């Protein structure tokens, strides 16, 4: 369980960290996240030299490469001292927890820098509820929705925040499914280092979710959804999946709130 | 397509065995969760886990010193073995000096770690496992596939066949009660014939100078009633300060292992000759076998493990492969931390183990000793990489590192990535991409779209 630091920096002026997956593939999740942040009163900056959190290298044990990428990220976001909002529980956990392991043998000054950086990291839903104080998304979204809580967000405020906001949407019905606490098998590079295990875990997840016939599957991480949908596609199973920011945005749009 | 050994094991494992392993593991996790929620609701479980972590994190060297004095005071001969070979020799010599031949064993993973049974059998001794699960695998010359439930991979049909083959049962009968009765009858003779009993220990109490054995079948008491000599092989990390602290562990162990409030039998052995039928002499061999190095390393917390097996029950990888996939005494999350560490300078032979993890963190959530298993797994990956040990399917990250630290390159790569939409990517059959496309598709690439949008609307 990756638990964020206790007294993280709050504030309405924020940096948005898009993540490599939103940069390359899930542009809509990033766009809708920024639109919602602004709608709920945040002032959003996007520092364009940002790249990635370094997680692919870190999870593979290449801590030296991961440190180089984290160093770059800290340098880019050193342009200001605002909180950093990320539309991914996993990338957030990388920067508030795992970065400390990557730099555990560094000198004290560096470790302090990494700790200080960790204090600025927020996952999108966690930030909406626990910093901006958003109580309600509202709007309408008539659908049965299955929520996948990504493993790396479990120790943070994300699952509770996401659920709280989803239940304020008219017409939205949350559906439970078996093994909702289980990993879907993506695990970043795990999916290509251990492809058989990963696929089998993914198939079990897709099966458990589709057994409940949801209209939509949502999560605070595009990565898990990409893996699940990729597996479902390969089996010819319909698997409508969207990042939770897209769902929030559509609900507000349907309700004429945006 | 080259696969990692554990991945290959998953691909080729008999579906029935896989199903049995998954069902047993999921059942154990659910049982642990239910009984802890019932008996220690709210934050009480977490409090207990924190206590266990703190006690195991205490002054181990001091407790060990105290334990030796107390154990000797109680008439127990204490010996130290620096590695498996030394421990095997010590145990063999004790048995040989007594001109003994018949050895009964009480389930012990530490004796599995040093492969004691084969060693003694090669020296002509009759060594019999008296725990039912251990007996089932011993007669088939297998290793445990789980640290608590060693025969988790075998169905009752397999066992019934095996019992006939090895003359434990007369005819095929897969009724679990009948199988147990057949084993009991077979073992009864062995208890009567036993000269020496070899056990491990769940705990060593430093203050009282006693070992604690937690079992479910009564086999430990039968074993000790028959044998004249008791030898316990114990990893030195099993020492805890006193019976007071033991309460914390007894409350956690059975609940975490099997979903029981406590094991059916909790034996306190505080020296030889304490009752009419107990062994007349007792030896305790403290095993190092790499533990001192682990204790001095950044992974020392793995020595807090109480061997309940909750982490493997909960692990999505273990649930699909079982313990044999790990090629080492300790499987699952515990194993992918501990086994490569115990391997010492043979780390390369088990260097793939830490990769058998999606980093989901579930093991850390259920560990009763609150060991940060995911962090320790990552540290092992770092260790493997630092020693430049090649692991199949490893990815070279220099292109990633270059891109992710050079913004102009990153941005151009993002802008150009859309071209991939026009390429038949799914035809790739090799490398990481090939391994992805074998079981999955990828969505449309929209590289740079968000950046363009933000420039206009941000």
User: What CATH number corresponds to the domain at position B176?
Assistant: 3.40.50.10420
Of the candidates A56, A183, A230, the beta carbon closest to that of B400 is on A56
Contact A196 B3 (CB under 8 A): yes
Whether B343 and B238 share a structural domain: no
Whether B428 and B381 share a structural domain: no
DSSP helix, strand, coil percent of chain B (3-state; round to 5): 55, 10, 35
Whether B14 and B101 share a structural domain: no
Q: Is the pLDDT of residue A95 over 90?
A: yes
CB B359 within 8 A of CB A151: yes
Predicted ipTM?
0.96
Buried b (16+ CB within 10 A) or exposed e, B375-400: bbbbbbbbbbbeeebebebbbebeeb
Query: Contacts of residue A22 in chain B, CB cutoff 8 Å?
Result: 450
Whether B20 and B76 share a structural domain: no
How do residues B328-356 score in pLDDT, each as one tens digit? 999 999 999 999 999 999 999 999 999 99
Mean pLDDT, residues A199-211 taken together: 98
Q: In chain B, pLDDT over 70 holds for what percent of residues?
A: 100
Q: Give the DSSP H/E element, type plus range, for residue A145.
A: strand A140-148
CA distances from B267 to B187, B221, B231 (A): 20, 8, 15
Query: Contacts of residue A19 in chain B, CB cutoff 8 Å?
Result: none
Look up the domain containing B324 and give its range: 5-33+305-386
Q: Does the residue B297 lie in any domain?
A: no
Mean pLDDT, residues A124-141 taken together: 97
- Our count of domains for chain B comes to 3
Chain B: closest CA distance from residue A222 (Å): 11
Whether B237 and B263 share a structural domain: yes
Mean pLDDT, residues B165-192 taken together: 96
DSSP 3-state of A9: coil
For B429: left if phi > 0, alpha if psi spans -120 to 50, otherwise beta; the answer is alpha
Strand partners, B127: B103
DSSP 3-state of A43: strand
Q: Does the residue B39 lie in any domain?
A: no
Whether B332 and B413 share a structural domain: no
Mean pLDDT, residues B184-189 taken together: 96
Query: Contacts of residue A69 in chain B, CB cutoff 8 Å?
Result: 400-401, 404-405
Task: Provide the pLDDT for residue B144.
Answer: 97
Whether B274 and B407 share a structural domain: no
Q: Is the pLDDT of residue B230 over 70?
A: yes
CA dihedral B332, B336, B339, B340 (to 10 degrees): 170
Which of B243, B262, B289 is the last residue in one of the domains? B289
Mean confidence (pLDDT) of chain A: 97
**B 80-119 residues with CB below 8 A of A?**
none
Whether B71 and B192 share a structural domain: yes
Task: Provide the pLDDT for residue B275.
Answer: 81
CB B403 within 8 A of CB A51: yes
How do residues A59-83 score in pLDDT, each as one tens digit? 999 999 999 999 999 999 999 999 9
Q: Does the residue B392 lie in any domain?
A: no
Q: Is the pLDDT of residue B276 over 90?
A: no
Q: Does the residue B371 lie in any domain?
A: yes
Of the candidates B356, B445, B448, the beta carbon closest to that of A194 is on B356
Whether B282 and B159 share a structural domain: yes
Whether B229 and B95 share a structural domain: yes
pLDDT band at B1; cut points 50, 70, 90: low
How do residues B385-421 score in pLDDT, each as one tens digit? 999 999 988 899 999 999 999 999 999 999 999 999 9
Distance of CA B223 to the CA centre of its chain: 24
CA distances from A198 to A179, A189, B49, B316, B319 (A): 16, 10, 30, 9, 12
Residue with tokens 């095993």: B287
Contact A26 B446 (CB under 8 A): yes
Which of B359, B386, B413 is the last residue in one of the domains? B386
Residue by residue, DSSP assigns B384-400 as HHHTT---TT----HHH
Mean confidence (pLDDT) of chain B: 96
At B74, list the tokens: 């109680």
Cα–Cα distance between B450 and B455 in angstroms, integer? 9
Contact B450 A23 (CB under 8 A): yes
Mean pLDDT, residues A34-48 taken together: 98
Whether B103 and B249 share a structural domain: yes
Q: Does the residue B153 lie in any domain?
A: yes
Provide the number of CB pairs (under 8 Å) joining chain A to chain B.
207
Q: Does the residue B296 lie in any domain?
A: no
How do residues B289-337 score in pLDDT, each as one tens digit? 999 999 999 999 999 999 999 999 999 999 999 999 999 999 999 999 9
How do residues B370-393 score in pLDDT, each as one tens digit? 999 999 999 999 999 999 999 988
Residues 6 or more apart whose CB falls under 8 angstroms from that of A184 comprise A148, A201, A202, A205, A224, A227, A228
How do residues B86-105 score in pLDDT, each as one tens digit? 999 999 999 999 999 999 99
Which of B254, B289, B324 is the last residue in one of the domains? B289
Task: Provide the pLDDT for residue A1.
Answer: 80
Q: Does the residue B111 lie in any domain?
A: yes
At B84, list the tokens: 């498996």
Q: Does the residue B217 lie in any domain?
A: yes
Domains of chain A: 13-130 (no CATH), 140-254 (3.40.50.1860)
CB B215 within 8 A of CB B267: yes
Residue by residue, DSSP assigns B315-346 as -TTHHHH-GGGG-SSS-HHHHHHHHHHHTGGG
Query: Contacts of residue B4 in chain A, CB cutoff 8 Å?
Result: 193-194
Mean pLDDT, residues A4-8 taken together: 96
Contact B439 A202 (CB under 8 A): yes
Maximum Cα–Cα distance for chain A, whole Å? Answer: 54
Whether B170 and B269 share a structural domain: yes
């Amino acid at each position: 369980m990756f638990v964020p630091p206790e007294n993280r920096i709050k504030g309405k002026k924020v940096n948005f960290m898009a993540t490599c997956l939103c940069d390359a593939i899930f542009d809509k999740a990033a766009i809708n996240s920024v639109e919602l942040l602004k709608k709920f009163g945040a002032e959003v900056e996007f520092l364009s030299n940002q790249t990635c959190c370094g997680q692919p290298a870190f999870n593979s044990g290449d801590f030296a490469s991961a440190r180089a990428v984290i160093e770059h990220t800290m340098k880019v976001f050193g342009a200001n001292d605002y909180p950093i909002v990320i539309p991914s529980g996993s990338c957030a956990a990388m920067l508030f927890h795992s970065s400390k392991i990557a730099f555990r043998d560094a000198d004290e000054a560096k470790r302090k820098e990494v700790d200080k950086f960790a204090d600025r990291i927020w996952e999108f839903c966690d930030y909406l509820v626990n910093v901006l104080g958003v109580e309600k998304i509202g709007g309408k979204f008539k659908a049965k929705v299955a929520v996948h809580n990504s493993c790396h967000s479990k120790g943070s405020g994300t699952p509770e925040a996401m659920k709280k906001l989803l239940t304020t949407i008219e017409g939205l019905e949350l559906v439970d499914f078996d093994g909702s606490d289980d990993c879907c098998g993506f695990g970043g590079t795990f999916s290509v280092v251990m492809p058989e295990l990963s696929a089998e875990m993914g198939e079990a997840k897709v099966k458990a979710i589709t057994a409940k016939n949801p209209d939509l599957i949502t999560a605070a991480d595009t990565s898990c959804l990409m893996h699940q949908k990729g597996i479902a596609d390969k089996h010819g199973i319909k698997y409508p999946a969207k990042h939770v920011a897209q769902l929030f945005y559509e609900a507000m749009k349907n309700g004429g709130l945006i | 397509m080259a696969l990692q050994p554990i991945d290959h094991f998953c691909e080729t494992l008999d579906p029935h065995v896989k199903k049995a392993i998954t069902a047993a593991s999921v059942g154990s996790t659910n049982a642990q969760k239910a009984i802890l929620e019932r008996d220690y609701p709210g934050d009480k479980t977490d409090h207990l886990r924190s206590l266990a972590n703190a006690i195991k994190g205490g002054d181990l060297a001091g407790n060990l010193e105290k334990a030796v004095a107390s154990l000797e005071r109680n008439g127990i001969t204490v010996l130290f073995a620096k590695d498996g070979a030394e421990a095997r020799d010590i145990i063999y010599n004790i048995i040989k000096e007594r001109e003994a031949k018949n050895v009964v064993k009480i389930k012990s993973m530490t004796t599995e770690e040093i492969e004691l049974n084969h060693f003694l059998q090669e020296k002509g001794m009759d060594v019999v496992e008296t725990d039912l699960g251990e007996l089932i695998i011993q007669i088939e010359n297998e290793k445990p596939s789980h640290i608590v439930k060693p025969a988790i991979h075998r169905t009752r049909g397999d066992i019934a066949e095996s019992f006939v083959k090895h003359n434990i049962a007369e005819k095929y009968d897969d009724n679990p009660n009948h199988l147990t009765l057949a084993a009991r009858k077979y073992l009864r003779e062995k208890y009567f014939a036993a000269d020496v009993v070899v056990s491990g220990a769940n705990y060593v109490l430093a203050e009282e100078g006693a070992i604690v054995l937690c079992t479910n079948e009564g086999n430990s008491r039968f074993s000790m009633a028959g044998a004249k000599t008791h030898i316990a092989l114990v990893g030195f990390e099993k020492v805890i300060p006193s019976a007071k602290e033991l309460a914390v562990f007894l409350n956690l162990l059975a609940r975490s292992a099997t979903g029981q409030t406590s094991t059916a039998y909790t034996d306190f052995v505080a020296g030889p000759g304490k009752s009419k039928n107990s062994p007349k002499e007792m030896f305790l061999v403290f095993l190092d076998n790499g533990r001192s190095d682990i204790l001095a390393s950044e992974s020392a917390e793995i020595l807090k493990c109480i061997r309940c097996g909750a982490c493997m029950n909960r692990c999505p990888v273990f649930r699909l492969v079982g313990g044999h996939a790990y090629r080492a005494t300790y499987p699952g999350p515990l194993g992918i931390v501990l086994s490569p560490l115990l391997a010492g300078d043979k780390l390369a032979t088990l260097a793939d183990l830490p990769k058998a993890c999606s980093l989901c963190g579930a093991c850390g959530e259920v560990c009763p000793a609150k060991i940060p298993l995911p962090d320790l797994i990552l540290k092992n990956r770092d260790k493997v990489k630092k020693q430049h040990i090649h692991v199949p399917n490893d990815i070279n990250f220099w292109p990633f590192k270059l891109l992710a630290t050079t913004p102009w390159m990153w941005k151009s790569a993002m802008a150009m990535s859309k071209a991939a939409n026009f390429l038949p990517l799914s035809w790739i059959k090799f490398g990481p991409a090939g391994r992805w496309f074998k079981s999955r598709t990828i969505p449309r690439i929209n590289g740079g779209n968000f950046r363009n949008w933000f420039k206009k609307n941000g």
